[in-house]
A and B are shown apart, each in its own frame.
Chain A
Amino acid sequence: MIIDTSVLSPLFSKDPKKQAQVANFLQQQPRILTSAIVIMEIEFGLQKLGSKKVLADFHEFLEDETLLDIIAVDTQITLLAAKKRAEMQKKGIILHTEDLLIGATAKMLGVPIATQNRQDFEPWNIEIISPFS
């Protein structure tokens, strides 16, 4: 499954219970797949807050390919995202570029998405997993 930002970011929550919840969930997965877009969003959050220590540790996490599989945004993903954006726009629904690209990544791989924002991925007709509810 693809891990969405909403599932990964509470690893940095103020609430130790929420942090533990993320850690437990990730440890249960035989393989952790995510999108490069999720990495961009977490990086943005950490950069905004001026983090040094967490940022350095986060980068180490990213570099270890045995821990994390980061799926890059390729042409196939962008084509899927564009098609979905046009389809939804016709219905008057505007989706965020980030969510479109993350959804398209899961769709392309044919895997579920783990998210706390179900509605952002409903247009994709993919399996949506809510790990903390």
Chain B
Amino acid sequence: MSSVRKSEGWPLSEAKARISELVRLAQKEPQRVQVSGEPAGAFISEKDLQLLMEIKKQKMAKMLDRLIRSSQEEGIHSEDFGELRGPIKDIELK
């Protein structure tokens, strides 16, 4: 049973009932939780969470760097965008 859970995840009701065990097992590897049979979330260790957040931060930094560099290389700048919103129709003042 536990090998099935490992790959497919714990049903939410079971995860609720066995939360301490999930947190303990999560120290070794992430424990997936399913809602209505679909993967919906997971318990992970603090160490894994820190790593995940760091990777996410690096990924974001890389993407933003790329956008900044492209903007400078292509000479495309927000100062030249002009008005980005649609026009407001003049209203008649009574």
Contacts and interface: CB of A to CB of B under 8 A. Distances in A.
A61 B77 CA distance: 17
Given A9-B84, A54-B76, 5 more contacts: A12-B77, A26-B64, A67-B63, A94-B88, A97-B86
B79 A11 contact: no
Interface residues of B, number: 29
Contacts of B68: 11-12, 16, 19-20, 23
Contact of B77 (A14, A57, A67, A99): A14
Contacts of B71: 11-13, 19, 54
Nearest to B53: A30
28 contacts: A10-B78, A11-B78, A12-B67, A12-B68, A12-B77, A12-B78, A23-B65, A23-B68, A41-B84, A45-B78, A45-B81, A45-B82, A45-B84, A49-B81, A51-B74, A52-B74, A53-B70, A53-B74, A54-B67, A57-B63, A57-B70, A61-B63, A64-B63, A94-B88, A94-B91, A97-B86, A98-B84, A98-B85
